[in-house]
Amino acid sequence: MQQDKCSPFYSIPRFGENEPEKPKADLLEQEKNNAYIKSVYDATMAVFESDKSPKRILEKKEYSTVFPKLLITKTGYQVVEILNCFDPNGYLPAMARVESVETDKLYFAKVQMRKPIEKVSGTDHNILLRELYVLGNWIDKPKEETKYLTKLADCGFDDNFRFILIEDAFTNLKILQNSRNKMPRNFVFLLTYHSFQAVKQLHQAHFMHCDLHPACFTISPPFSLKIKNFYRASFTTSTRNLVIKKLRTTAFSSRKAYKIGEKLELLDDYENWFHVIMHATCKNGLPWKEETADLQAKEKFYELLDADWFGSADMLCLIPHLLKKYRSVRKFESAVDELFSINVKMFDKNEAPDWGFFVPEEKPKKSTRKKKIGDRGRNNGKNQHRSGEAGKTKTEETDVKIYGLASD
């Protein structure tokens, strides 16, 4: 691999550096696909918004609680694996891995019962609407501005459900953390570096995530990291949405997230990121108990900085010092990038971070099926009904490999 050794980041792989230039036909196809996504996004957003109307709220209707076997838009998506079912109230989205009946490509689907979206204090009735809105903000943006952000692949609705589909990922950080003691040093460095860049790019798109946790980072071989789950994301300029009205804290939340009436800032997103990476890479995980995480435990850590950093990137232990030192987010980002540029020089020639990818023991499922689909409906702003039935799905597990260091 040809690398510019004059750059402090010469050993850090750049996304797309080995990708050949796309043929003009592929670029035209991409533009056509973006145009379709934009049109179906506008139509679906209109329907989602209409579900907030007083007329819809007054409706008394029973909605199906059975996860659909087939999601219909311009094409059909057959359910391969249901990851979690609907909650009792029907407002939190159920999730599944689905497969396009035309291309066999896998996608990640979030499906919500099409109940009216009510404004009730302390609830998340509009959780899917909010995520769709965030994803719609970078449909037309250039690839270099969105390489770390998951993309909207399709969206739609019928009488019973509303749903969105995003790019499927090979695995996520929640799965990888189970192998934290087996991660190679160069992989841990890449994970730390690119997850930081992902949060930074989200901020550059004028959004804060506000609820980072391990499952928010997806990783695909050879090494492509993206950030997802934007159901609590908010515009960086939105004072109303960033002020904490109700506590929704986790083991990974920033300290400010525990304070009612406080406004979250960009640095709080970085503190949230720091907790996620510390949990995923440090041998003993977080220095506080996850199930009883509270503000006092986190304040004590930042006061004493007593943690076992074994397994993490060398520069990670300095992050809490920078969070304490800088109140300017730009100065903080610059200081962290400088740490990365120093840390990468500590690897010898054989260990230099590269496109190597560590695959965990968990095996993603891939379906092989006989396609059997009835009439396909289009989603052009009107309710469509599913017709036909999905063929039976037979699943088989893919082979698991451990990818070594890439040597171009």
Task: Report the CATH fold assignment for 171-346.
Answer: Transferase(Phosphotransferase); domain 1 (1.10.510)
Domain boundaries, the chain: 24-170+364-397, 171-346
Residue whose token pair is 């304490």: 324
Assess whether pLDDT exceeds 80 at residue 181. no
| Angle value at C-alpha 268, between 264 and 273, nearest 5 degrees | 140
Long-range contacts of 383-389 (CB under 8 A, 24+ apart): 383/47, 383/157, 383/158, 383/159, 384/72, 384/156, 384/158, 385/158, 385/159, 386/68, 386/70, 386/72, 386/158, 388/70, 389/69, 389/70
Q: Strands 224-227, 217-220: parallel, antiparallel or unpaired by DSSP? A: antiparallel
- Grade residue 342 by pLDDT with cuts at 50, 70 and 90: very high
Q: Which CATH superfamily is domain 24-170+364-397 in?
A: Phosphorylase Kinase; domain 1 (3.30.200.20)
Q: What is the pLDDT of residues 11-66, one digit of tens each?
A: 444 433 444 455 655 666 677 778 888 888 888 888 888 877 777 666 767 777 78
| Angle value at C-alpha 99, between 29 and 195, nearest 5 degrees | 75
3-state secondary structure of 47: helix
| Angle value at C-alpha 87, between 51 and 115, nearest 5 degrees | 15
pTM across the whole model: 0.79
- CA atoms of 216 and 163, how far apart (whole Å): 19
Instruction: Compare 301 and 399 and report the one with higher pLDDT.
Output: 301
- CA atoms of 234 and 210, how far apart (whole Å): 8
Assess whether pLDDT exceeds 50 at residue 374. no
Q: What is the pLDDT of residue 239?
A: 74
- CA atoms of 289 and 374, how far apart (whole Å): 51
Rg over alpha carbons for the chain, rounded to the nearest Å, is 22
Q: What one-character DSSP code corresponds to residue 20?
A: P
Assess whether pLDDT exceeds 60 at residue 399. no
Q: What is the pLDDT of residue 170?
A: 65
Domain 24-170+364-397 shares a fold with domain 171-346: no
Q: What is the pLDDT of residue 6?
A: 37
List strand residue ranges (DSSP E) for 103-160, in order.
106-113, 152-157
- CA atoms of 83 and 108, how far apart (whole Å): 10
CA dihedral sign, ordered 8, 176, 170, 72: negative
Mean of the pLDDT values across residues 201-221?
92
